């Protein structure tokens, strides 16, 4: 919406500014402020500004600023120069002939061309500056997103290298997170299984879930967290649920994933991040 507003305002700024400056240069003591001339100037500037927008769009695809800044500027400047000469000398000349106005001298025509060209370049610089600022903001947002993703990924990778404090009888032991196979909440305690042993986790299932790498472990329901390596199969259950078969040596278990968690489970199990 703001970009379109600026586009509509651009020929008005260009036409009014050019008419003010040219009238003042031609007659600084008593410049002519004729409304009709301002209107005609604005109308004559419409093809200039529209051609500038069209040129920007086409050149951005063929000669982007980021890859060819010098070539882009020279090309755009050349097109602006030609378009100004055509509008001021050809279209403007036809209009002046139509209203039977006296012809301008060469120096006066050159001055009008120069004023309009400078103003067009100034407006173009404003557009280019807005373009660079918008791209910079977009790049900054993307960089921020990538940074956050990298931080999350690093955090997950670090979880693979960490150990979880578990309890075996009266002793506390440190176990690598990747060695855990399954954790079950039963009778008020969290029982954790590895290939060799069973342990107790002195905390809630949710607290344990926070310590585990999410690409390797998934909380299937309120009672079970499972390592993906022991999930042998799954199938659609009733009412949108998922029936999961867990199997690893002496562990054989069927777990139901509720309908609200079914989509999350499918996305996790089908991912290739393991």
Asked whether residue 262 falls in the same domain as residue 196, the answer is yes
Give the model's confidence band at 147: pLDDT under 50 very low, under 70 low, under 90 confident, else very high. confident
Q: What whole-number distance in Å separates Cα of residue 214 and Cα of residue 160?
A: 10
Structural domain tally of the chain?
A: 2
Asked whether residue 207 falls in the same domain as residue 246, the answer is yes
pLDDT of residue 135: 76
Element (H, E) at 220: none
Give the model's confidence band at 146: pLDDT under 50 very low, under 70 low, under 90 confident, else very high. confident
For the cut 50, the answer to whether the pLDDT of residue 122 exceeds it is: yes
Give the model's confidence band at 132: pLDDT under 50 very low, under 70 low, under 90 confident, else very high. confident
Is residue 151 situated within a structural domain?
A: no
**pLDDT tens, position by position, 184-214:** 998 889 999 998 889 999 999 999 998 888 8
What range defines the domain where residue 6 resides? 2-133
**85, 99, 166, 178 from 162: Cα distances, Å:** 71, 86, 13, 9
> For residue 116, how many C-alpha atoms fall within 13 Å in the half-sphere facing its CB?
29
Is residue 89 situated within a structural domain?
A: yes
Q: Answer left, alpha or beta for residue 18, where phi above 0 means left and psi between -120 and 50 means alpha.
A: alpha
Joined together, the tokens standing for residue 165 give: 């404090």
Asked whether residue 6 falls in the same domain as residue 128, the answer is yes
Asked whether residue 124 falls in the same domain as residue 165, the answer is no
Asked whether residue 30 falls in the same domain as residue 128, the answer is yes
What residues are paired with 254 via a beta bridge? 245
> For residue 228, how many C-alpha atoms fall within 13 Å in the half-sphere facing its CB?
17
Domain boundary among 89, 118, 133: 133
Kindly report the average pLDDT of the chain as a whole number.
83
**pLDDT tens, position by position, 201-248:** 999 999 999 888 888 899 999 999 999 999 999 999 888 999 999 998
Is residue 168 situated within a structural domain?
A: yes
Asked whether residue 12 falls in the same domain as residue 127, the answer is yes
Asked whether residue 127 falls in the same domain as residue 235, the answer is no
Q: What whole-number distance in Å separates Cα of residue 59 and Cα of residue 64?
A: 6
Q: What whole-number distance in Å separates Cα of residue 68 and Cα of residue 136?
A: 17
For the cut 70, the answer to whether the pLDDT of residue 11 exceeds it is: yes
Asked whether residue 55 falls in the same domain as residue 128, the answer is yes
The highest-confidence range among 1-5, 59-63, 257-261, by mean pLDDT, is 257-261
Q: Give mean pLDDT, residues 21-46.
A: 80
Select the more confidently predicted residue: 126 or 230.
230
Give the model's confidence band at 256: pLDDT under 50 very low, under 70 low, under 90 confident, else very high. very high
Dihedral sign, CA of 204, 207, 211, 213? positive
φ and ψ at residue 253, rounded to 5 degrees? -155, 140
pLDDT of residue 274: 46
Does the pTM of the predicted model rise above 0.85?
Answer: no
The highest-confidence range among 65-79, 105-119, 133-147, by mean pLDDT, is 65-79
Asked whether residue 89 falls in the same domain as residue 172, the answer is no
Q: Give mean pLDDT, residues 18-22.
A: 84
**CATH assignment of the domain containing 247:** 2.40.50.1020
pLDDT of residue 273: 47
């Amino acid at each position: 919406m703001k970009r379109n507003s600026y586009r509509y305002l651009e020929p008005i700024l260009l036409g009014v500014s050019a008419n003010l400056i040219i009238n003042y240069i031609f007659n600084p003591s008593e410049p002519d402020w004729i409304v009709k001339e301002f209107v005609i100037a604005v109308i004559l500037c419409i093809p200039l500004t529209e051609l500038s927008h069209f040129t920007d769009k086409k050149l951005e695809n063929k000669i982007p600023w980021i890859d060819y800044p010098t070539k882009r500027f020279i090309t755009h400047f050349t097109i602006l120069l030609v378009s100004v000469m055509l509008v001021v000398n050809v279209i403007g000349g036809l209009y002046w002939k139509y209203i039977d106005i006296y012809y301008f001298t060469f120096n006066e025509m050159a001055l009008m061309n120069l004023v309009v060209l400078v103003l067009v370049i100034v407006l173009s610089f404003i557009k280019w500056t807005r373009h660079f600022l918008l791209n910079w903001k977009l790049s900054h947002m993307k960089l921020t997103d990538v940074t956050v993703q990298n931080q999350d990924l690093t955090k997950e990778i670090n979880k693979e290298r960490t150990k979880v404090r578990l309890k075996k009888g009266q002793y506390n032991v440190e176990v690598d997170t990747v060695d855990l196979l399954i954790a079950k909440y039963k009778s008020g305690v969290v029982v954790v299984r590895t290939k060799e042993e069973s342990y107790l986790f002195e905390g809630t299932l949710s607290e344990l879930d926070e310590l585990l790498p999410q690409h390797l472990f998934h909380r299937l329901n309120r009672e079970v967290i499972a390592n993906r390596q022991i999930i042998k199969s799954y199938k659609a259950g009733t009412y949108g649920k998922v029936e999961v078969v867990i199997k690893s040596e002496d562990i054989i278990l069927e777990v139901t994933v509720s309908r609200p968690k079914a989509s999350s489970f499918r996305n996790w199990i089908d991912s290739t991040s393991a």
